Amino acid sequence: MTVRSTPPATALLATIRSVLFDMDGVLYRGAEPLPGVNELLAFLRQQGIAYACITNNATRTPAQIAAALQTMGIGIGAEQILTSALATNFTLRAAAPRGTPVYAIGMAGLTEPLFGDGYFIPEETTPRYVVVGLDLELTYTKLRTAALAIRRGATFIGTNPDRTLPMPEGLAPGAGSILAALEAATDRKPMIIGKPERAMFEAALALLRAEAATTLMVGDRYETDILGGAGAGLKTALVLTGVSTRDEALAAPLPPDLIVEDLPTLLRLWQAVSATDDHGAERA
């Protein structure tokens, strides 16, 4: 077991009352669950530690993502999944009244949470906001409508900045590629909601009714999960089952609070904290 932590792992984990998980590379890889995921989730439930998953994916609804997790044997409900589309909805509702007109480029994972309850009204000509996510049926007409609205003064919002999307054939264009096209056409930069931006983490904390200082972000990608979590005031743990390596994380200006090989390692550390508490030590 190899661990790098500042402060010591036991002192850090003793303060945690809620957890945010990235998904691909943390809970699963491809279509296969990673070792220890269900055991760690069961431990968190036993300890009364709330948790949720956050993802930059805005193409699928939480229900669709939960169903996919179920096929892998991972029991996480839709109410515990925050997509960048939901975070966008949360952020805009804090700034705009009911009935605000919005033009959206995206799939059901974006349009359903945005327009499903009637709070925001779809509008092509004079929207207050143009919200853009990944759209696998993107057309020039959609780009033109969005660009014209942005040039007329609509606020330009991007659900996430991911320029590429991993597919079996290789890296395909992601939502960030659509944002880049609109930025070139309008000379406007979008406001980004998804990781690593603070808005995503604030929406997740609101979902869990949690405090940043006692929340742990567990991720596999330094530049989104770890840097974003730290920027929002969360504690951070990098698992080495996905994208970023130990050397990359240690060389970064703001290293993770904790680096672990995998979820079983994280679980063993947390169980040691629990065992200490069970013997009467005061939780930090």
Pairing of strands 191-192, 155-158: parallel
Instruction: Please tell me the predicted confidence (pLDDT) of residue 12.
Output: 92
Q: What range defines the domain where residue 260 resides?
A: 3-56+196-278
**pTM for the whole structure:** 0.88
Distance (Å, rounded) from C-alpha 148 to C-alpha 125? 8
- H helices of 94-188, in order, are 108-115, 140-151, 175-186
- Say which residues have a Cβ less than 8 Å from residue 258's Cβ, sequence separation at least 6: 3, 4, 5, 9, 12, 13, 235, 236, 237, 238, 266
Is 186 in the same domain as 215?
no
Residue 79 lies in a domain: no
As given in the structure block, the two tokens for residue 23 are: 């998904």
C-beta separation of 260 from 236 below 8 A: no
Cis bond upstream, residue 196 (ω within 30) = yes
Residue where a domain terminates, one of 176, 192, 208: 192
Neighbours of 8 (CB within 10 A): 12
**What is the phi/psi pair of residue 102, to 5°?**
-135, 140
Residue 160 lies in a domain: yes
Instruction: Please tell me the predicted confidence (pLDDT) of residue 5.
Output: 42
Residue where a domain terminates, one of 131, 161, 192: 192
C-beta separation of 124 from 152 below 8 A: no
- H helices of the chain, in order, are 9-13, 37-47, 62-71, 84-93, 108-115, 140-151, 175-186, 198-208, 227-231, 246-251, 263-278
Is 221 in the same domain as 271?
yes
Is 224 in the same domain as 175?
no
pLDDT in tens, 213-258: 999 999 999 999 999 999 999 999 999 998 889 999 999 989 999 9
Distance (Å, rounded) from C-alpha 261 to C-alpha 249? 13
- Count how many domains the chain has: 2
| 187 catalytic per annotation | no
Q: 120 has which bridge partners?
A: 100
Among residues 22, 162, 220, 225, which one is catalytic? 22
Distance (Å, rounded) from C-alpha 22 to C-alpha 89? 20
Residue where a domain terminates, one of 138, 168, 192: 192
Residue 91 lies in a domain: no
- Say which residues have a Cβ less than 8 Å from residue 117's Cβ, sequence separation at least 6: none
Residue 66 lies in a domain: no
Residue 81 lies in a domain: no
Is 243 in the same domain as 165?
no
Is 175 in the same domain as 240?
no
208: CATH: 3.40.50.1000
Distance (Å, rounded) from C-alpha 73 to C-alpha 66? 10
Is 104 in the same domain as 180?
yes
Residue 182 lies in a domain: yes
Residue 73 lies in a domain: no
Residue 88 lies in a domain: no
Is 266 in the same domain as 200?
yes
User: What DSSP designation does 212 have?
Assistant: G
Per-residue pLDDT tens listing for the chain (284 residues): 444 444 578 889 999 999 999 999 999 988 899 999 999 999 999 999 999 999 998 999 999 999 999 999 999 999 999 999 999 999 999 999 999 999 999 999 999 999 999 999 999 999 999 999 999 999 999 999 999 999 999 999 999 988 887 777 888 899 999 999 999 999 999 999 999 999 999 999 999 999 999 999 999 999 999 999 999 999 999 999 988 899 999 999 899 999 999 999 999 999 988 776 655 444 44
55: Cα separation from own chain's centroid: 3
Is 176 in the same domain as 230?
no
| 24 catalytic per annotation | yes
User: What DSSP designation does 190 have?
Assistant: P
